[in-house]
Amino acid sequence: MGDALGAYVEFRPNSYLVANPVTDLVGGGTWDLQKGQFTDDTSMALCLANSLIACRDFVPYDQLVRYKWWHRHGYMSSTGHCFDIGAATRQSIQEFEKRQRKFAHDHDILLDQMDSLSDRGLLQAFDVHCSKEGVAENGALMRLAPIPLFFYRHPKVAVDYSGISGQITHGDEKAYDACRYYGALIVAAIQGEDKTKLTSNTFYDEHQEWFGDKALHPEIITIAQGSYKKKGGYQDGIR
């Protein structure tokens, strides 16, 4: 619902949103969508959710297959085709397709069977990290909600998988840790923690065990500790 509400003003500057607040579902806008249609944010989240349900597990290879289907065939799109895709996601999907072709050749597998690859040994042999290091953008963050929803009973697992889910298309460490932190927030919300606790500057410290031995990137910690609350807010508070 939030994605469909925001689709009308996607990519608009904050000044426009302040002057023209979104109060209801509206058609048209940035992508000329019908009222209620959603963007790539939801399409990719649905791809991820379907992967978790179909595999009954966290299988990055299958996730990439479904992202490819969305990009190439409009799978899980509200319009029947992929009308928007981030550069990092597109490049990672193209790299995934390239690796599929090479893997099929090297392991004597028919290319049209690669999307249904299920042998555990072969899945472990396939390198699913299809993004270059340092590639960020928000494409990994916007789609990850199904992971903490699926694994919320096991917070550390949910946080770990939230980060890994981002790495397959976005290789930047900050993107990885932003996904981990967001995953933790969703788990905490599902477990009943209120907004005050979720936005507390001490949330990270109070849930340190969920993040294991690997600390968050310093810039993500800065945000977690409330930089976005500073004067200037949207313009310069986050960074």
Convert the pLDDT of each residue in 151-208 to its tens digit. 999 999 999 999 999 999 999 999 999 999 999 999 999 999 999 999 999 999 999 9
Q: Give per-residue pLDDT as tens, 75-89.
A: 999 999 999 999 999
Q: Give the pLDDT confidence of 47-64 residue by residue, as tens digits.
A: 999 999 999 999 999 999
Residue 137: its pLDDT value, please?
83
76-79, Cβ contacts within 8 angstroms, sequence gap of 24 or more = 76/43, 76/44, 76/46, 76/47, 76/50, 77/43, 78/33, 78/37, 78/38, 78/39, 78/42, 78/43, 79/33, 79/37
pLDDT, greater one: 229 or 177? 177
Domains (ranges, CATH) in the chain?
A: 1-37 (no CATH), 39-236 (1.10.4080.10)
Residue 131 has pLDDT above 90, yes or no: yes
Token reading at 189: 């919300």
Could you tell me what percent of the chain has a pLDDT over 90? 80
How confident is residue 231, by pLDDT bands cut at 50, 70 and 90?
confident
Q: What's residue 77's pLDDT?
A: 98
The mean pLDDT value of the chain amounts to 94
pLDDT at 237: 53
Q: What's the pLDDT at 80?
A: 97
Integer CA distances (angstroms), 6 to 1, 20, 43, in order: 9, 12, 14
20 against 126, higher pLDDT = 126
Rounded Cα distance between 236 and 219, Å, is 13
Question: Residue 38: is its pLDDT beyond 80?
Answer: yes
Total-model pTM: 0.92
What is the pLDDT confidence band of residue 234, given thresholds at 50, 70 and 90?
Answer: low
User: Which of 128, 141, 125, 134 has its CA nearest to residue 168?
Assistant: 128
Q: Indicate the pLDDT class of residue 235, thresholds 50, 70 and 90.
A: low
Residue 106 clears pLDDT 80, i.e. is over it:
yes
Q: Is the pLDDT of residue 145 over 60?
A: yes
